[in-house]
Structures are given as structure tokens and as C-alpha cells.
Structure 1
């Protein structure tokens, strides 16, 4: 096991900067997840840690070792890719043992490690099969097993579950979480899946355009996003954003008018210096932070577009003026919502406020 440290890491392709001054500390045994939109640099950052991409500037340390110029095979890392990358002509047992045998590892130790992996991943009955005889989930177990057998200091996962169907993703997510608890090894995981990030991570790193926007525990990012981008990216369904204008302020409160919601006014407590009257701002409310009419700080009457009934919960989608869409969570799915309109209230205790540049005001 090992700590991992990135200090002002930069990656350029020609004049184009992919990663900008990324700094990150990962504790020994920590599970860290990189998330962000496509093209934000999360896989590039992972590949630089692995040594598959050279860094342009900065430092990467694994344990006490500066690894900028250390070959991938000598970094003490193992990587699991989106594609399983198994040798089709080899059995599972041979796939697991191949890397160790190529490095001249003693046969007795190789056999011990392979059997240990088979026990951990519960794949003993698959050892004599070839990849084409395995399901997607079984192939991914073998791919993970090939990483475990190396007994690395750091595991790297690059969207390992994206090729699996929904049910298998849930199953493998549980298995990876169990594996981390059992091995206690440092793990870095790249995904675009919100559920994977929220359920697996000890710490999430949110990237955008090569910049690290925020680092924190999953629920910290969910409850206290640093800016509008993080607020909108972390969480599924995503946070609702409503255009508003400041109509009054004092030292502790700000009063807003929601521009596309029938000019609804609401007041929010504010700790930061208040914006100026007339400023354009954005109110952020998560789907679960709407209440029944009369139980919040302001009532909204919305036109129901689509209602998704998911057992004990419903999600109501409403298109409103100005092109905004609201997603509202209701625990009333057993009584299907059949009306064309619905009145809900905003809970001020969880509402967030952002200025026109996306910086958080509340």
C-alpha cells in the first residue's frame, strides 16, 4: 500500500493544455474517484499516474518515490481498463499467472497468488475456461484478478464497469467495494457514473476542462458544492437551477424574484456579503428539497410534463418558461399524479445561491 501525491501536474499536447496544475493527496488505503464530463482530463490524469502518459510539468510521488521518470512496470501500480484486455487463447488461470511468469516470479509463489485471487473473487470454478466462455461480469472479475495478483501498492481503474449492463454494474460495484475493504489498498477510479462515484469513493475529485474544481467526501460535495458546476454535476437526478433577480438585501438575508416561475418571491438567509439589488443570480434546489404546498418559503405552480413512478418515489419533470426544466422528487408514487399542474414549495434550508459567474453565494 502507498500514499499518492500530485503536485502542480500539467499535461500539454502541443499548445493545448489538458491538465492544469493538478494537485492532490491520496492517503494510504484511500478510495478516490475522478469524475467529470467527457474530455475533462480524468483518464489522462489516471494514465499519468500509471506512467502511460508523460507529464509536462509537476511531480507525481507514490509513497516516498518521485515517479516522473519511472517506467510503468516499476511504479508498483496495476491498472484495470474499460476493455477487459484478456488473452483469448489462455484460460483464466493462465491469464492470471501470465504477468508474474513473464517477470520470472517463482512458480510456487505465482500459484499461491493465483489461488488467493481465485478465493477472493470467487472464480475457482472458472479457472479452466477461456474468455469467450465467460459473461461480461466474469471477464471483469478476471481483469480485476489480474491486477490483484501483482500485489500492487496502488490500483487504477479506468471506467471498468461501463461495458456491463445495469444489473451487473450494481453487482460489480458491490464487489469492488468489498474488495477494497478486504485488501485495504489505495485505489484510484475513473467514472462518469454518479452512482459509482457516490457509493464507492472515500473522496471524489471533480474535474472540468483540465482543472480540479473540488475535492471532498461524496456527501460533502453533494451538500456543499463549491460552485454551480459541481452542484449541477454531482447528484442524480441533477440539481434544479432557476434564474432569479435580487430585489432586496440586508446583512443577513437576500430577497429574490424567480424570473421564469411567475415572479415568485422568496427570502434566504445569507452568510456571504449580499449581492447588489438588481443582480442576476441562480437559485439551486435539489429534487428532494421541494415540499408540499405551504410547507416552504415559496410556492410554485408548475405544469407537469412527465411523471416517472419508481415504486416508493416519483420524479416529476416540468418544463417552464425560459427553457428551464424542474425535476421534483415526490414520495407519492402509489397515488399516481394525474393532474396537469402541481403546486410545490421550496425548502429554504437546502437552497443554494450562485452569482452570474457560477460562484456560490450561499
Structure 2
């Protein structure tokens, strides 16, 4: 096993800068997830670790060894792609062993590695089948098995579950988490799905436009985001954001809400008249009258999922709000509901999106 270190890593495609000086330490045996919107640079960063993209500037080290000029096959990594990329004319066993056989690995050792990968992934009964006879989840397990047989120091996953349906995604998340627990190998995983990130990661790296916004444990990022971008990206449904204006002395008025005000200790640093953004997560709303300020909403869509219901609504100012419904779960589209914002659960951001301490 080995850790991964990035120091001042940059990537440019001609005049286009895509990665802007990333510094990161991935511990030995740690599961780190790169997450962010499409185009943020997470796959490019992963491909640079794998050696599939050149580093424009900075250093990448694996196990303490700088690998900028080391060939991908010699870096001690194995990568699992979004595409299964299985050879259709080969059996599962032949797909698993192909890379080892091409490298002249001893037959007995190859058979041992294939058998061990099949045991770990519970695909022993599938070894004689061809890919066309497998489900999507089974094909993805074979693709992961092909990485396992290489016995790498670092596993790299590039959105491996994107091609699966919702039920299989959940199953494979569990499989990958179990795999990490059994192998204890360093894993770096790329996804745009923050649910995957929250489920799998020891730590999450939130990326935006080629820059690291925040690094931390899943619940730390959820509870203590450093800015509005991280607060909105981590969490499903996302945090609600309401335009606000400081009245001075820590009091904040919600813009266009008919004079609705709330006192927030973090608002004391704002001058009277300064704009701000108030954030509140869907599950933190309380019943009307129980919090520190009430908010009137008109329901657009009521989403009833059994144990949980969400109300997709609008404020008087037309701002979209999602409420995890408790007492108001019987509300229907077109109805009116009142909820309350507890000051202790609210976040406040300045006009640039930075969180106010």
C-alpha cells in the first residue's frame, strides 16, 4: 500500500488552464473521493495520478516516489473506468487474467490472483461466462476484479457506477465499501454524485473549476462548509439559499419576504445594508412558530417517498425552497404552508459566497 501526494499540481491544454495548483495528501489505506460538477477537473486530476495525462507543473508522488516521469504501468496503480471495457470474446476468467498473461506472469500466480479476486467479488460461478451473459453489475465487478489481480498499491476509480441503474448503483456502492474494508488499499474515487461521495469516502475533496474548495470528512463538510458552493453541493436535496440584508447588530432581514427578520450571531460582523445569503437545509426547518422566524411558502410539488416527504415550494419573493416535511407532509401542490427557521441551524454567507464565522 502507499499514499499519494500532490504538490502544486497544474494542468494546461495549450492556453487553457484546467487544474490550478492542487495540493493534497492521501494517506496510506485512505479512501478519498474527488467530487464536483462536470468540468471541474476531477477526472483530469485522477488521470494525472494514473499517468494518463502529463503534469504541466508540480509533483505527484506515490509511496514517497515522485512519478511525474514514470510510465503508468510502473506506478503501482490500477484504474477502473466508467466503461467496463471487457473483451467480448473472452470469458470472465480470461478477462481477469489477460493483463497478467500478457506481462508473462507465472501461470500459478495468475491463477491464484484470479481465484482471490473472484472470491472477494463473489464472481466465482461467472468465470466461464462471456460478458454478454452478465448483468451490468456483474460486468462492473469483473472490471474491478481486473484491477484487483494487479495487486496495486493504489486503486483509481473514474465514475465506475455511472452506467448502472439506481438499484445497482446502491448495491455496487456497498460492494466497493466492503472491498476497501477487506483490502485496506489506498483508493481515489471520482464521482459527480455527492451521495456516492458521502457514502464511500473517508475524506472528500470538493473541486470547482480546477481548484480545491474544501477537503474533509463527509459530515464535517456537511455540517461545516467553508463557502456557499460547498454548502450547496454537499447534501441532497441541496441547502436552500435566501437573499438577505443586514440590519446591523446581528439582525438580518430576508429580502422580499414581507419584513421577515432573524437574529444571527454571525451577522454581527455585517454593516447595516450589506447584502448576504441565508442558508438552511431542508431537514432543519421547524413547524411555524417553533423557530426564530416564520416563512410563508406556496407548494409547487409534494414528493412523498414513504418515510420521507419533500415539499418543493416558493417564497413570496419567488425563491425556490425545499422542505423536508414533518407535520406538513400532507401538503399538496398549490397549497400554502408556513415553516420556521431556527437561528441555530441557519448559515450566513457574504455576497462572494464565503461563510461568515
Residue 337 of structure 1: how far off its partner (Å): 1.6
Note if 1:360 corresponds to 2:355.
yes
Q: Please list the CA deviations of residues 61-83 of structure 1 after superposition, one character each: whole Å capped at 9, or x if unmatched.
A: 00121000000000000000000
Q: Deviation per CA, 1:106-125, whole angstroms, max 9, x where unpaired? A: 00000000000111111011
Could you tell me which residue of structure 2 aligns to residue 266 of structure 1?
262
**1:28 matched residue in structure 2:** 28
Return the alpha-carbon distance in structure 2 between the equivalents of residues 35 and 98 of structure 1: 32
What TM-score do the two structures reach when normalised by structure 2? 0.98
In structure 1, the partner of 2:232 is: 232
Deviation at 1:263, TM superposition (A): 2.3
Q: Render the CA deviation track for 1:103-153: whole Å, top value 9, x for unaligned.
A: 111000000000001111110110011111111000000000000010000
In structure 1, C-alpha distance between the alignment counterparts of 2:30 and 2:295, rounded to whole Å: 43
Q: 8 Å contact 1:355–1:361 — kept in the other structure?
A: yes
Question: Alpha-carbon deviation of 1:273?
Answer: 6.3
- 2:182 aligns with 182
Q: Show structure 1 runs of 4+ deviating over 6 A.
A: none
Kindly state the Cα deviation for residue 194 of structure 1 after the two structures are TM-superposed.
Answer: 1.5
Query: How far apart, in 2, do the equivalents of 1:87 and 1:286 lie?
Result: 46
Structure 2 residue runs of 5 or longer lacking an equivalent are none
How many pairs were matched up?
Answer: 356
Matched, 1:65 2:60: no
Are 2:222 and 1:218 aligned? no
For 1:176 and 1:331, how far apart are their aligned partners in 2? 34
Q: What's the secondary structure of 2:55's corresponding residue? A: coil
What is the distance in 2 between the residues matched to 1:332 and 1:102?
A: 63
Q: Distance in 2 between matches of 1:327 and 1:81?
A: 34
**Following the alignment from structure 1 to structure 2, what is the Cα–Cα distance between the partners of residues 51 and 173?**
26
Q: Would the alpha carbon gap of residues 83 and 65 (structure 1) be closer, same or farther in structure 2, given more than 3 Å must change?
A: same
Deviation at 1:330, TM superposition (A): 1.5
Matches within 5 A, 1:178-327: 178-249=178-249, 254-270=250-266, 274-327=269-322
Measure, in 1, the Cα distance between the counterparts of 2:246 and 2:184: 50
In structure 2, distance between residues paired with 1:83 and 1:273: 52
SS of alignment partner, residue 304 of structure 1: strand
Provide the residue aligned with 2:100 in structure 1.
100
Q: Displacement, 1:336? A: 2.1
Instruction: Supply the distance in 2 between the matched residues of 1:280 and 1:299 (Cα, whole angstroms).
Output: 20
Distance (whole Å) between structure 1 residues aligned to residue 113 and residue 124 of structure 2? 13
* Contact 1:309/1:336, CA 8 A, preserved across alignment: no
State the Cα deviation string for residues 213-238 of structure 1 (Å, max 9, x = none): 00000000001001011111111100
Give the aligned partner of residue 336 of structure 1.
330
Query: Structure 1 stretch 216-225 or stretch 310-319: which is displaced more?
Result: 310-319
- The TM-score normalised by the length of structure 1 is 0.96
What SS does structure 2 have at the residue aligned with 1:326? strand
Q: Is the 8 A contact 2:296 2:316 kept in 1?
A: no
> Does the residue aligned with 1:111 lie in a helix, a strand or coil?
helix
Q: Which runs of 5+ in 1 are unaligned?
A: none
Asked if the contact 1:33–1:189 (Cα under 8 Å) also holds between the matched residues in 2, the reply is yes
Query: Once the two structures are superposed, what CA deviation does each residue of 1:137-175 show, in whole Å capped at 9, x if it has no partner?
Result: 000000000000100000000000000000000000000
CA distance, structure 1, for counterparts of residue 311 and residue 167 of structure 2: 25
Equivalents in 2 of 1:75, 1:297: separation in Å? 56
Contact 1:20 1:210 in 2 (8 A): yes
* Cα contact 2:92–2:128 (8 A) shared by 1: yes
> Take 2:289 and 2:346, find their aligned partners in 1: how far apart are those partners?
16
Task: Output aligned runs, 1:6-25, within 5 Å.
Answer: 6-25=6-25
Matching of residues 58-137 of structure 1 within 5 Å:
58-137=58-137
Q: Is the 8 A contact 2:295 2:315 kept in 1?
A: no
Report how far residue 288 of structure 1 moved: 0.5
Structure 1 CA distance, aligned partners of 2:37 and 2:259? Answer: 33
Distance 2:268 2:76 in 1: 49
CA RMSD of aligned residues (A): 1.2
Q: Give per-residue Cα distances to partners, 1:243-265, cap 9 Å, x unaligned.
A: 0000121xxxx101101322200
